[in-house]
Every structure is written in structure tokens, then in C-alpha cells.
Amino acid sequence: MRACYPGSFDPPTLGHDDIIRRAQGMVDELVIAIGRHPEKKSLLSVEQRLAVLQACYRDLPGIRVVAYEDTTVHFARKIGTQVLIRGLRSYADFESERGMAEVNRANGFDTIFLLASPVHTALSSSLVRQVLAAGLPLDGLVAEPVAQALQQSPTDTA
Ligand code: ADP
């Protein structure tokens, strides 16, 4: 089975990493799909996010990293999967995810939700952006290739 894990990944965190590694063990191919939102101000460019995610999972079989501009389900259809992966940290995540998951389901795309590991329930890309802007260490928040890319990026976009 092929599944698609869509998201902004701006930047990718160890919470995303946990979901990716767990999902990878369940499917034949996991496509990490970075949504392009040209209207949104980003910390890392889509190209930087592609490069760091490719660096993180170079040695993990069955992982593909791509960027897309379509709606998620159009993109999922294009790559030939009807299965989406999303992470759930909290009830708030559940509430914000359920509407879209129901619509996607009605259109033939089902979502597998993986619960965030307890150590990652408070971790988000926006927390990482704040920590970076405050000049605090990123240990335990992001993988090494991500930390390196962030250290080279401007820090005024939290
Ligand atoms: P989006 O803008 O699409 O929500 P994100 O990059 O913020 O993109 O999140 C992508 C997916 O990863 C979402 O399903 C989100 O709930 C999940 N996720 C984000 N952070 C974590 C975390 N710390 N643990 C588990 N899942 C997470």
C-alpha cells in the first residue's frame, strides 16, 4: 500500500519524524507531500524543506518526498493512493482535522490518524519557529539536517 503524508513541514519537527517512521513501517511506500502555499510567508522555502526531508530519510526505504500545489486529494489521486496519514496531538487537532477527513472520505480518500507520542504532543512547527526566533537551542525539537538549515535561515519569521 502507498500512503501520502501531507503537510506544511515548515520546518519539519521530530513530531513529524515520529509519524513518518511509524507510518513507514505500515506501508510499502510513504509519500511525504509538502504543500506549496505561495501566499503564506514561510520560514524554509519549499526547496529547503524538500532537501532536508530527503536528507533525513535517505536511508529509510519506501520514502519519497515531493512538493505539490493541488488540493491534497487531487494530488493523492495523481500519485495513485487513497490513503492519507495525519498526526493527532490533541482534541484541538481532532476538531480541526475531522471536517476535512470526512469530506475526503466522502470522496474516496480515507485518513489514518496516528496519535502523537507523549513526548511530542506540545511540539509544533510554530513552536520551533518561536524557539529559533528566541535564539534558544533546537535540541529535541528537530533533526540535525533541519537544525543546520534553520541556522542558515533568517530568524524574523516566527
Ligand atoms: P498542516 O499545515 O497541514 O497542518 P503541519 O506540518 O503543521 O501541516 O502538520 C502536518 C501533520 O503532522 C498534521 O497532521 C499534524 O497534526 C501532524 N503533526 C504536527 N506536529 C506533530 C507532532 N508533534 N506529533 C504528531 N503529529 C504532528
Is 6 a domain residue? yes
120 C-beta closer than 6 A to ligand 1 = yes
Q: pLDDT digits over 44-84, tens only?
A: 999 999 999 999 999 999 999 999 998 999 999 999 999 99
Structural domain count, the chain: 1
Q: pLDDT digits over 80-119, tens only?
A: 999 999 999 999 999 999 999 999 999 999 999 999 999 9
- Which pLDDT score, from 0 to 100, does residue 158 have? 43
Is 157 a domain residue? no
| Rounded Cα–Cα distance for residues 54 and 126 (Å) | 21
Is 12 a domain residue? yes
In angstroms, what is the span from residue 86 Cα to ligand 1's centroid?
A: 7
Q: State which of 89, 114, 121 you would mutate to test the pocket of ligand 1, scoring each by most atoms of that ligand within 8 A of its C-beta.
A: 89
Residue 128 half-sphere exposure, CB side, CA atoms within 13 Å?
26
Is 120 a domain residue? yes
Atom of ligand 1 at shortest range from CA of 126: 7
Is 158 a domain residue? no
CATH, residue 35: 3.40.50.620
CA-based nearest residue to 115, from 150, 85, 87: 87
- Which pLDDT score, from 0 to 100, does residue 154 have? 58
In angstroms, what is the span from residue 47 Cα to ligand 1's centroid?
A: 19
Is 134 a domain residue? yes
Does residue 38 or residue 114 have the better pLDDT? 114
The boundaries of the domain holding residue 14 are 2-152
CA-based nearest residue to 15, from 130, 116, 143: 116
CA-based nearest residue to 72, from 40, 32, 16, 45: 32
- Residues annotated as catalytic (active site), given as ranges: 16, 40, 89, 125
Atom of ligand 1 at shortest range from CA of 9: 6
* This prediction's pTM: 0.95
In angstroms, what is the span from residue 134 Cα to ligand 1's centroid?
A: 22
Is 122 a domain residue? yes
Does residue 136 or residue 153 have the better pLDDT? 136
| Rounded Cα–Cα distance for residues 117 and 66 (Å) | 25
| Mean pLDDT of the chain, nearest integer | 95
In angstroms, what is the span from residue 89 Cα to ligand 1's centroid?
A: 8
